[in-house]
Chains A and B, each alone.
Chain A
Amino acid sequence: MTLLDDFRLETRTWLEENCPIEMRKTSTTETDICWGGRKWTFKSKAQKQWLERMASRGWTVPGWPKEYGGGGLSGDEIKILQEEMKRINAISPLESFGIWMLGPALLKYGSHQQKLEHLPKIARGEIRWCQGYSEPGSGSDLASVQTKGVDKGDHFLVTGQKIWTSYADKADWIFALVRTEPDAKKHKGISFLLFDMASEGVTTKSIQLISGSSPFCETFFDDVKVPMENVVDERGNGWTIAKYLLTHEREMVSNLDAIFGGSAGLYEAALETIGLDETGRLDNPLLRAEIGDFLIDEMAFTTHLAAAKDFHRAGNQLGARSAELKYLGTELNKRRQSLVVQAGGLETLSGSEENSGISKQSASWLRSKGNSIEGGTSEIMLSIISKAVLGLPSLG
C-alpha cells in the first residue's frame, strides 16, 4: 500500500464516522449551502456539526497551510478527499468568497500577520467576506474605479459606492478596490483594502433581480476609517491582485456547473411535458434538434472541464485560459436554462404568490442571464482570449 492508499483509507473511515447522515445528499440546492459568518444561523444541528468537524481538520480549505487553518494537503490528497466525499455524497461543509477569492489572494500577496488574522476565521466559517469591485461607472472597465481612500497618516478615509456586491448585506468584512493614489496612472492608483462592514459609514441596500432573488447589493462608504495596515501588498498594487483574483473567480464561476447540477432536469422535463412520437422521438422535432445540439456541447464542455481540472491539478496555471472556461460554461448554462423553460412550456409559467409567479425553473432561467455578465462579461472574456491566447493586436 502506498501512502496515498493509506490516506484514502483513513479519510474514508473518518468521513463515514463524522459526516452526519443529513449532510449526505445526491443533489444540492442553493439552500443547502453553508456560508458561515457572524450573522449565520445554521439550518440544522447537522450543518453546524459538519462544519465544525471538517474545520477542526482544516478540511474546509484542505489545500491551505495548517498554520492558517488549512489541511496542508497535497494536490493528490485533495483529489482523494473530494472523491471520498463524493462517494458518500457528502456536501461541502462551507462555501464562501473568503475560501474562493480572498484566501488565495492573501496566501499569495498578504503579510504573515494578515494571513494569521484572517485565514483561520475563513477556514472556520466565522467571518464571511464580500467583494467590493464594480462601481456604477466601472463595469467592464473595472480599473476606472473612483471610490477613493484619502491618506490620513495611520488610516485611510474611504468614500464612494460599490455595486453588484454579492451578499454585502450578509457579509462581515469586505475586500475592496479603492483609489488611494490619485496622481498615479489608472492601473497604478488602486489599493486592495480589507475592512469590517460594521465600521461606521458603511451601508448596504439590496438589489432585486428579475429572477426574484436579491443576491447583490449596492454598498455605500461615507468616510469609512480603514487602518493603514489593512492594505494588502503594496499601496497602488491593487490591480495586480484584482486581476489574479478575477482569474480565480472565473475558474469558480465555471465550476458552478457542478452546483447547477448537470442538465438541470432538461431531458426529464422534455420527456414529461412533450412526450414521444410514434418513432420514439420527442414529439417536437425542432425543439428536439435544439436539445440535441445542446447535448453534444454539454458533453464537450464536461470533458473539457475535467481536462482543465487535471491540467490544473498537475501544477499548471490556467491563467488567461480560465476566460475560455468561463465563457463556455456560462453560455452553455444560459442555453440549458432557456431549453428547460422551453421544454416546460406553460408549466413553468406559474409559480408561488410570494415570488410573484416566478417558478423555480423560470427563476433559474432568469438568473442565468447574469452568468455571462458577472465576473467579466462574455465579450471581455473573448477580448482576453484574443489578446492573451491568440495574440491578436489590441487597441489598448
Chain B
Amino acid sequence: MELFNSEETLLKDSAAGFMSENAPVQALRNIRDRKAPLCFNKELHKSLADMGWFGMLLPEEAGGYDFGHRAAGIVAEEMGRNLTASPFLSTAVLSAVGLRHASGDHLSEWGPQIASGDAVIALAIDEGAKHNPVRIKATAKPDGNGFILNAKKRAVFDGFNADRLIVVAKAEEQTALFIVNPTASEVMVERSSMLDSRNAANIEITNLHLDGKDLLCPLEKSDDTLRAMLRSGRAVAASEQLGIAKEVTERTTTYLNERKQFGVPIGMFQALQHRMADLYCQIEETSSLVSASLRAIDTTQDSADILSRAAKAKVAKVARTATEEAVQIHGGIGMTDEVDIGLFMKRDRVLTEMLGDCAHHIDFLLRNRGL
C-alpha cells in the first residue's frame, strides 16, 4: 500500500533487475559450494558500488550520494529477496553512518573507499551469544596519550579480511569506538563458518596500543555515534529481512497454485488459504512499519529510534513465520537443499540475531514506556 515517488520506483526496479541478474540465490550457492573463504564476490561488491549503492548514506564530500535510508532500505529489500551476499550492511550502512556521524579525517579517508567498493569495514560489537550493547566487556585502558585495547568479539559480520574494524569498547565508564587495523599482530581474526554462508569472524585483540587519532570520534560523542549506527543498521537489516519474508511468501503462493493433491491445486484448501492471507496481512503492515522507520531516520524524527526497534522486532516475528510456513506448505521438498527455501530460512535466522532479536527490542520498547 506504500506510495513510492518516481525516484524510489526507479531505484526499486533497477535494484530488483540488478540483483536477480547479477546476484541471485544461485550466486550464493556457488559461493557456499566452492567454499570460498571470503563468502562474497569481490567483483560483485565492486559492481554494486558502481551502481552507487555503497555510497548511499555517505555525504557527497566523502564520495557518497546522500540518497538516504529509504533508498538504502529499497536496495536491501531486493538483496533480501535474492540473498545477495555483499558487505552492504556492515560497510555501506553501519560503518558509513558511523563515519558520517563522527565526520573528520576518518570520513575523508574511508568514505570514498567505501563508496567505490574498495574497502570493507566491519563493526565489532557483540561479545556473547546475544546482542547486548549495554554490556560491553572490551576495555580500553588509558595509557599516556592513548589506550590499550583488549577485546573478544564474536560474530563480527564481514570481519574476515576486512580492511578496518570499528571496535566498541569501554574506556572506564565511557563508550569508545576505535578504528582498528586487523593486520596488527595484536589482532587475531578467526573466520567463522556461518549458517547463512556469509562472511563473519571471531576476533581477539590483546594489548593493542592505540592513540587518540584511532578513535572514530571523541569519547563524548561515542554513545551518540553508536546509537546512530545501530539505528540505521536495524532499519536496513529489517528491510533485508522483509525482502526475505516477501520473497518466500510469493514463492509459496506460486507453489500453492501449482502443486496438485486430491486432484486440485492445494491453494484451493481454505486451511492453507487463510494462513497465507494472514501472513500476507502481517507482511503488509510490517512493510509500512519498516518504511516508516527508514523515513523517520531520514527526517531525523525523535521517533526514529523507537520505530527502528519496533521494525526490527516485528520483521523478525513475521519473517520467521513466513519461512516456517514456506517449508511446511512446500512439504517434503521444502526440507531439501535443492529448493531455496532453506537458504532463506538460514539467512533469516542470522538477521534476527544481528543487532538484536525480537525480545531484546520489545524489552527496550516496554522500558521506554515505563513498563
Contact = CB atoms under 8 A, between A and B. Distances in A.
Contacts of A288: 366, 371
A391 B257 contact: yes
Given A281-B366, A383-B270, A303 B289 contact: yes
Contacts of B284: 304, 324
Contacts of A393: 257, 264-265, 267-268
B307 A389 contact: no
A292 B2 contact: no
A270 interface: yes
Interface stretch (B101-109, B140-148, B273-281): B273-281
A329 to B, nearest CB: 10
Contact of A300 (B264, B267, B288, B369): B288
A282 B366 CA distance: 9
A310 B291 CA distance: 13
Contacts of B273: 382-383, 386, 390, 392
Interface in A257-312: 267, 270-271, 276, 280-282, 288-289, 291-293, 295-297, 299-301, 303-304, 306-308, 310-311
B274 A390 contact: no
Contacts, number: 131
Interface string B1-33: 111000000000000000000000000000000
A308 B291 CA distance: 13
A106 B227 CA distance: 54
Contact of A270 (B264, B307, B371): B371
Interface residues of A, number: 44
B313 A296 contact: yes
Nearest to A297: B314
Contact of A291 (B257, B313, B361, B371): B371
B367 interface: yes
A321 B283 CA distance: 13
B256 interface: yes
A304 B253 contact: no
Given A324-B284, A385-B281, A390 B289 contact: no
B285 A280 contact: no
A383 B277 contact: yes
B1 A321 contact: yes
A376 to B, nearest CB: 13
A300 B314 contact: yes
B93 interface: no
A317 B322 CA distance: 27
Contact of A295 (B265, B291, B362): B362
Q: Which of A289, A307, A311, A391 has the most C-beta atoms of chain B within 10 angstroms of its own C-beta?
A: A307
A379 interface: yes
Contacts of A382: 273-274, 277-278
Interface string A313-326: 01000100100100
Q: How large is the interface on B (under 10, 10 to 19, 20 to 34, 35 or more residues)?
A: 35 or more
Nearest to A384: B277
A379 B281 CA distance: 13
Interface string B239-261: 00000000000000100110000
Nearest to B274: A382
Interface in A313-347: 314, 318, 321, 324, 327-328
Contact of A307 (B2, B277, B281, B317): B2
A340 B110 CA distance: 52
A391 B288 contact: no
A395 interface: yes
A26 interface: no
B253 A281 contact: no
A2 interface: no
Interface in A16-56: none
Contacts of A385: 277, 280-281
Contacts of A310: 3
B69 to A, nearest CB: 15
- Judged by DSSP, the binding face of B is helix
B350 interface: no
B370 interface: yes
A259 B103 CA distance: 47
Given A303-B285, A382-B273, A382-B277, A311 B3 contact: yes
Nearest to B275: A382
A329 B364 CA distance: 25
B286 A300 contact: yes
Contact of A299 (B3, B256, B289, B371): B289
B365 interface: yes
Contacts of A308: 1
Contacts of B317: 293, 296
A352 interface: no
A281 B364 CA distance: 10
B280 A390 contact: yes
Contact of A386 (B276, B292, B362): B276
B281 A390 contact: no
B370 A392 contact: no
Contacts of A304: 1, 284-285, 287-289
A178 B366 CA distance: 52
B351 interface: no
A394 interface: yes
A144 to B, nearest CB: 19
Nearest to B292: A303
B288 to A, nearest CB: 4
Interface in A77-98: none
B180 to A, nearest CB: 34
A391 B253 contact: yes
Given A299-B314, A383-B270, A291 B366 contact: yes
Interface of B: 1-3, 253, 256-257, 264-265, 267-268, 270, 273-274, 276-278, 280-281, 284-289, 291-292, 306-307, 310, 313-314, 317, 359, 361-363, 365-367, 369-371
Interface of A: 267, 270-271, 276, 280-282, 288-289, 291-293, 295-297, 299-301, 303-304, 306-308, 310-311, 314, 318, 321, 324, 327-328, 379, 381-383, 385-386, 389-395
Given A306-B292, A383-B277, A392-B253, 6 more contacts: A282-B371, A296-B365, A304-B284, A304-B287, A307-B291, A390-B277
10 contacts: A281-B363, A289-B359, A296-B310, A296-B317, A301-B285, A327-B277, A382-B273, A385-B281, A390-B276, A392-B273
For the complex of A and B, 10 pairs with smallest distance between CB atoms = A292-B362, A386-B273, A304-B288, A304-B285, A385-B277, A382-B277, A392-B267, A303-B292, A300-B285, A300-B289
